[in-house]
Chain A
């Protein structure tokens, strides 16, 4: 056992003066093991949909509050909550779950504008921001603000109204929360003043669920196992083992002044270390 371990990490005659873990065949095994893990996760989401997923504490109120805070910071007027836009946004999120897609346009060719029209919202300008897999509202709004196109929607001077859809469900076998932000400038500007009330006091931090959230959040009550965490943990373990093997290999080769034909240990370690850092600091959530 000890000898086998030493062959994996320590360059010696038996492993052709190169630690086994850094041999091309072992790199191939690493890739195969990782791909197998990904396939198992994928199969599991098909066989047992809804077991893996992302938990979330996103609320409609906080999305509106943070969006308006960003507008205020940029000297723009606040957006007013509109129930029709909230319905179109919620319908869009439900549609993505129903037809299992993650995009502005549905596989059947339905555009975001169709959702506005369906609920009878006549607009001169409108926009849509999408987000999924985020745990909290702050990081989601920050992500939108970092993306030029989503930022343009949030800071569009023409928009007067906003509606948010926060819906829990299962997408591609993974439980998640989809957030849809619909913006609009109604054709009839007079209607903006006759606003319906926002879903709750916008200063309240307590999560108040929309009807859809209330129904679907029951599914999300159990703690979820995030597929990202499973893959990330395996990835970190693999990167660490490989970097350790390369450091040991490089140190012993240097100490023994071994001459051999091999890639640059400095180059490999630098490249793998940078990728490991990116993996460590990556966060869950994506926008569209």
Chain B
């Protein structure tokens, strides 16, 4: 349960590769749909949801999946999606 950035990356490389792929795909689709607010909004929601889903897999595999952790991820995803959609659309 140690929060150690480097250790986290070394211990679970595939999980973090998956996370980076999710984020990169989200960013590329967002840029691809530039100025198309309908699609961009969907891309932001999908990326936020995928991030939360990734956290479930990541913490389940680490054996520390707790409600407080799930709430933390949901709040961070909400914070990011509200700020981005609220600002742009």
A-to-B contact residues, CB < 8 Å: 24, 27-28, 30-31, 34-35, 38, 143, 146-147, 228, 231-232, 235, 238-239, 242, 250-251, 253-254, 257-272, 274-275, 277-279, 281-283, 285-287
Contact = CB atoms under 8 A, between A and B. Distances in A.
A238 B3 contact: no
Contacts, number: 138
Contacts of A35: 82, 86
Contact of B83 (A34, A250, A263, A265): A34
B51 A31 contact: no
B37 A286 contact: yes
B76 interface: yes
Contact of A270 (B23, B59, B78): B23
B34 A254 contact: no
Interface string B23-44: 1101100111011110000000
Nearest to B24: A274
Q: Is the interface on chain B under 10, 10 to 19, 20 to 34, or 35 or more residues?
A: 35 or more
Nearest to B73: A263
Given A263-B69, A278-B27, A279-B83, A146 B34 contact: yes
B16 A266 contact: yes
Contacts of A287: 35-36
A143 to B, nearest CB: 4
A262 B80 contact: no
A263 B55 contact: yes
Nearest to B30: A278
Interface of B: 1-9, 16, 19-20, 23-24, 26-27, 30-32, 34-37, 51, 54-55, 58-59, 64, 66, 68-69, 71-73, 75-80, 82-84, 86-89
A275 B5 CA distance: 20
Contact of A274 (B1, B23, B54, B82): B23
Given A254-B6, A263-B73, A270 B35 contact: no
Given A143-B35, A253-B3, A267-B54, A275 B80 contact: yes
13 contacts: A31-B82, A38-B86, A232-B87, A235-B83, A260-B1, A261-B66, A263-B69, A265-B3, A267-B73, A271-B51, A274-B27, A275-B84, A283-B34
Contacts of A251: 5
B15 to A, nearest CB: 9
Nearest to A26: B75
Contact of B5 (A24, A250, A277, A283): A250
B63 to A, nearest CB: 11
Nearest to B58: A264
A27 B77 CA distance: 10
Contacts of B23: 270-271, 274
A83 to B, nearest CB: 29
Given A146-B34, A285-B35, A228 B9 contact: no
